[in-house]
Amino acid sequence: MRTSTIYRAALFVALAMGFGFSPAHALTREELTAKIQAAGYSQVKDVKSTAEGTTAKALKDGKPVMLVVDSSGQIKERN
């Protein structure tokens, strides 16, 4: 019974990661940069891990923005 539960949990994690549900902290810097660029940002730099999530500087429509990528992978502009 316990082996079956462990197997199901491992399968769920593998499927979740395959569908892009992996947390931001599991992404490499290059993967995170690509994710940010795919969201419409350019010139991504100064990618750093912080207590609030992963932060980065980028440009959006030619204007500088500060970004935070939280543990669920959501990209948010910081004011």
pLDDT in tens, 22-63: 444 468 889 999 999 999 999 999 999 888 889 999 999 999
Distances (CA, A) of 61 to 39, 43, 64, 66: 12, 11, 8, 13
Sign of CA dihedral 21, 23, 26, 27: positive
Task: Please check whether residue 24 is in contact with residue 73, taking contact to mean a CB–CB distance below 8 angstroms.
Answer: yes
| Amino acid sitting at position 73 | G
Cα 8 from Cα 25, distance rounded (Å) = 23
Question: Terminus-to-terminus CA distance in the chain, angstroms?
Answer: 50
pTM summary value: 0.65
Q: Binning pLDDT at 50, 70 and 90, where does residue 13 land?
A: low
Q: Which two tokens stand for residue 56?
A: 């980065």
